[in-house]
Amino acid sequence: MIEVLSPRQVDAARPAGAFVGSTLAELQRRAEPGTNLLEINDWTVELIARRGAVSCYVDYAPSFGRGPFGKVICTSVNDAVLHGLPYDYVLRDGDLLTLDFAVGVDGWVADAAISFVVGDTVDPADQRMIDATRDALAAGITAAGTGSKTGDISYAIGQVLTGAGYKVSTEFGGHGVGSTMHQDPHISNNGMPGRGFPLKPGLLLAIEPWVMADTDRLKVDDDGWTLRSATGCRTAHTEHTIALTASGPEILTLPE
């Protein structure tokens, strides 16, 4: 399914984006050495309830997971890169943490992810990898103009990531959102320009570059959800939901 929203519907989707962005910013501020991943999930449950939002994750049971997910946020640490199921783990100084969060507000969904190092000890290689995903996301958003195609976004992302020396997996990538969390079109993190679905005003797209330090191969954790690097190397993941408008792409998941 691909939904094309009216300008009024795009306006109605903006609160979901602002809430997702603000929630991730608050969780990043609160996460520190000594924080348990289950605490992060509990904090998120409280924020969702206070806002009157609806979790996209807790009942989510796709074919690639051992569902339902049962938690409201993905917490991926160090070698975990996607779909990290929160568990009883206490964060340490220097851990590389990714938070991935999607909710519905008033019937419209937004989805975003951030990676950051917990505490004061930051490995320059970790920061370089995080920065590469942020730069790739910025390039992908810039490429998402009316008249472009999804392949233009994929190509822009891939150029940045491979140019920074990383291998790029195309197994998971960005996607459409709207009244549901995962929709077409799929947006690979590498591809050919000029190919794919034509972009038009009214599309909401979740664009999400992710990389692993020395591999493009994944393995599934014993929990049936968490995806880790096959070599045990560190990982990073950055995501925004954007709206395509007549004047260009607009990031919806910036903090309020």
What pairing do the DSSP bridges indicate for beta strands 218-220 and 227-229? antiparallel
Under CATH, what is the fold of the domain 7-251? Creatine Amidinohydrolase (3.90.230)
pLDDT digits (tens, 9 = 90+) for 47-64: 999 999 999 999 999 888
Element (H, E) at 134: helix 124-142
> What pLDDT is attached to residue 190?
98
In the chain, domain spans: 7-251
Peptide bond into 185 cis (omega under 30): yes
Q: For position 191, what pLDDT does the model report?
A: 97
Q: Where does the pLDDT of residue 193 fall: very low under 50, low under 70, confident under 90, or very high at 90 and above?
A: very high
131 phi, psi to nearest 5 deg: -60, -35
| Least confident among 54-68, 165-179, 239-253 | 54-68
Task: Tell me the per-residue pLDDT of 7-47, one tens digit each, with 9 for 90 and over.
Answer: 999 999 999 999 999 999 999 999 999 999 999 999 999 99
Arithmetic mean of pLDDT, 95-107:
98
What are 195's two structure tokens?
């190919």
Give the sign of the dihedral formed by CA 103, CA 108, CA 113, CA 114: negative
Amino acid at 159: Q
Across the range 231-246, mean pLDDT stands at 97
Is the pLDDT at 90 greater than 90, yes or no? yes
Q: Are the CB atoms for 82 and 225 separated by under 8 Å?
A: no
Give 179's DSSP letter.
S
pLDDT value at position 127?
98
User: What's the pTM?
Assistant: 0.96
Structure tokens at 122: 């930051």
Q: Tell me: pLDDT of 99 over 90.
A: yes
List, in sequence order, every beta strand (DSSP E) within the chain. Answer: 54-55, 74-77, 80-82, 96-105, 108-117, 174-177, 183-187, 204-207, 210-212, 218-220, 227-229, 235-237, 240-245, 248-251
pLDDT of residue 164: 98
DSSP structural state of residue 98: E
Contact 129, 46 (CB under 8 A): no
- Beta strands, E only, 72-150: 74-77, 80-82, 96-105, 108-117
For 206-230, the pLDDT digits (tens) are 999 999 999 999 999 999 999 999 9
* pLDDT tens sequence across 144-167: 988 899 999 999 999 999 999 999
Q: pLDDT grade, residue 94 (50/70/90)?
A: very high
Residues 6+ apart with CB under 8 A from 146: 199, 200, 201, 244, 246, 248
